[in-house]
Amino acid sequence: MKITPAVRRRLEKAARRAAEASYSPYSKFPVGAAVLTSSGHVFTGCNVENASYGLCNCAERTAIFSAAAAGERAIKAVAVYTPTPTATSPCGACRQVINEFGPTALVISVCDGSDRIETTLDQLLPHAFGPGNLG
Ligand SMILES: O=c1ccn([C@H]2C[C@H](O)[C@@H](CO)O2)c(=O)[nH]1
Ligand SMILES: [Zn+2]
């Protein structure tokens, strides 16, 4: 699955739309994510918070777990949207979870401004611990 400009746009749009379902009454920081798998399917997710704050789940992990639950095992790209003036990169926990299925995935962050970040998971999480380290 080649990541063309059209595929990027589709992924970014899906991430923006996914943020509309965000359940974030505590942080009031809605986030949307979209994941492109090797089969060409796009899975989306939003952050889902909890009154027990530590149980909050990020948009990226919601999207990845949705893909995994559908049987997908290879992530090609992740797009993240935050309604902020500057783009937001995935948190450390999400970087680790992306690594499991997409160690070289393209990671795109978009926002409400013109700012954007385009990088790869191996740049965000160098020398990652992954499945290969278990022998
Ligand atoms: O990349 C990020 C950063 C934060 N959050 C969520 C977690 C929490 O619900 C809120 C504030 O941290 O934003 C995400 O979903 N993705
Ligand atoms: Zn996260």
Confidence of residue 18 (pLDDT cuts 50, 70, 90): very high
In-domain check, residue 119: yes
Is 48 inside a domain boundary? yes
Would 135 be classed as within a structural domain? no
Residue 1 has pLDDT above 80, yes or no: no
Q: Are 114 and 87 in contact (CB under 8 A)?
A: no
Instruction: Give the environment of ion ligand 2: residues with CB less than 5 A.
Output: 58, 91, 94
105 Cα: distance to centroid of ligand 2 (angstroms): 16
The CATH number of residue 112's host domain is: 3.40.140.10
Nearest ligand for residue 56 CA: 1
Dist. CA 23 → ligand 1 center (Å): 11
Tally of domains in the chain: 1
Residue with tokens 């990027």: 8
Look up the ipTM and state it.
0.99
Measured CA to CA, the distance from residue 135 to residue 131 in angstroms comes to 8
The values of phi and psi at residue 45, to 5°, are -160, 160
Summarised one tens digit per residue, pLDDT across range 57-92 is 999 999 999 999 999 999 999 999 999 999 999 999
Q: Could you tell me if residue 132 is inside a domain?
A: no
